[in-house]
Amino acid sequence: MNGAAFAAGQASAAAYSGHGGSWLIATGAIGVLGLNEASESPGSGPCAGRVHAASNASALKERRTATAARTLRAWYHDEVRFELARRQRATSIAFVSIALALCACARAPQANVQAPSSVALSSHAPTTPATPNGAAATEQLAAASPAGGAEPRALPTPRSAHERGWLGVELGKRAANEPGVLVRDVVRGSPAEHAGLVAGDVIVSVDGENVARPEDVSSRIAARSAGERVRVGLLRVQETRLLAVDLEAFPDSDEILRRQYVGLRAPELEDLEVAQGALEPRLAALRGKVVVLEFWASWCGPCHLLSPVLEQWHERFTPQGVVVAGVAAEDMSVVTRSAYQLGIAYPVFADPNGTTTKAYRAIALPTVFVLDKAGTVRDVMVGYSTPGLSRLESLVKRLIAES
């Protein structure tokens, strides 16, 4: 089963083509990690993938040279395939991502990938429904779609990024003998959720057209405008259903993460290694403090612009009960060296397996979360943004005043 596809759209996005697949790269003030074709083996969570390391200057140059782009692809309704790589026992493992915002850093490292692994991006990994084989699969496909068991038609031409509709699902490719496209996750508050789609559903048709790959779904949704209604045929366990979904205009990257996290308890900090400082990497240890949690990388240019701002916040707000901390999905030696070179004094953690990075869906860098004293996510910023930083700073001051 190939990796995941997020359903949405993004105005300033372009797709990188290679290895038989397409992945989004955006332009602006976000660090984009190298995107690689996902594993052919089944994934167990909303996102199956591999991350790779990129600390070598020549490798970085090669990856940057390799970034070619074409337009009309969009994050959160396009294939997002990334892999979690364990290249060698002592080799650094960095996070693979895709740009998801109007501000993005188009140049990013890319590396060869190894064998597949899976990582769940939601707190409750969906249960894959029973999968029919052979004739049974064809019969269920015919039952759920007016087009019957025929092969999907040619992909339609997508609308421009500011016109296309947004569904709000994360998709995964199924095995060749299994019909349809697996819904790995559903964005909270999205059109898909309002219509009743749930993780574990299998989409077999969109407006009567059969779909077999994530790109079949994303392209058909991208050809519709916000406000249009589409008919989604699906399998849920052994039942066939037909749902009407009213598409929305896709939100920006900050808003997508806000829908997923704001108002909810922050994901736990897992598998982190202390690279700098004495802060214990557990949410329980941060209870009663306002937390500014930054996800960054050593090679990410916008992250280098952000670190002096966060360093100032660290100096100003620490005496008032605020914790500023950074998480980098790289090897410990890379993280400690980069923190020293950037003059970072606030606590820094290495996330070599990308566990916490994926739990927070920090698949574009930098991404900054603000948590209140109870450990609830209050806001998110993706990329380097002066208005965004002003918004977060005002929020931090308000949270300090909260009892």
Query: Can you give the residue ranges of every domain in the chain?
Result: 1-251, 262-401
Q: What is the mean pLDDT of residues 57-69?
A: 39
Contact assessment for residue 323 and residue 291, using Cβ atoms and an 8 Å cutoff: yes
- Higher per-residue pLDDT: 27 or 162: 162
pLDDT at 120 over 50: no
pLDDT of residue 189: 94
Residue-averaged pLDDT of the chain: 73
Name the range with the highest mean pLDDT among 67-71, 100-104, 155-159: 155-159
Percent of all residues in the chain with a pLDDT value above 90, rounded to a whole number: 56
Cα 126 to Cα 122, 135, 268: the distances in Å are 9, 26, 19
pLDDT at 18 over 90: no
The domains spanning 1-251 and 262-401 adopt the same CATH topology: no
Instruction: Give the class (CATH, top level) of 262-401.
Output: alpha beta
Q: What are phi and psi of 205, to 5 degrees?
A: -155, 150
In the Cβ-directed half-sphere of 302, how many Cα atoms lie within 13 Å? 29
Q: CA-CA-CA-CA torsion for 36, 172, 105, 192, nearest 10 degrees?
A: 180
**221's tokens:** 């949704």
Q: Which amino acid is at 136?
A: A
Q: What is the mean pLDDT of residues 324-344?
A: 96
What's the rounded Cα separation, in Å, for the pair 161 and 178? 31
pLDDT-based confidence at 252, cuts 50/70/90?
confident
Among residues 113, 140, 105, the alpha carbon closest in space to that of 41 is found at 113
pLDDT of residue 264: 96
Contact assessment for residue 22 and residue 57, using Cβ atoms and an 8 Å cutoff: no
Among residues 204, 198, 199, the alpha carbon closest in space to that of 184 is found at 199
Number of DSSP helices (H) and strands (E) in the chain, helices first? 10, 21
Q: What is the mean pLDDT of residues 189-206?
A: 96
Among residues 31, 8, 129, 123, the alpha carbon closest in space to that of 383 is found at 31
Residues facing residue 80 across a β-bridge: 4
Q: What is the mean pLDDT of residues 307-325?
A: 97
Q: Which single residue is written with the structure tokens 């996800």?
A: 295
E strand residue ranges, 200-269: 202-206, 209-210, 229-236, 239-246, 248-249
pLDDT of residue 37: 31
pLDDT-based confidence at 35, cuts 50/70/90?
very low
pLDDT at 46 over 50: no
Among residues 230, 243, 151, 229, the alpha carbon closest in space to that of 201 is found at 243
Name the range with the highest mean pLDDT among 65-69, 74-78, 127-131, 295-299: 295-299
The CATH code that applies to domain 1-251 is 2.30.42.10
pLDDT of residue 91: 36
pLDDT of residue 153: 62
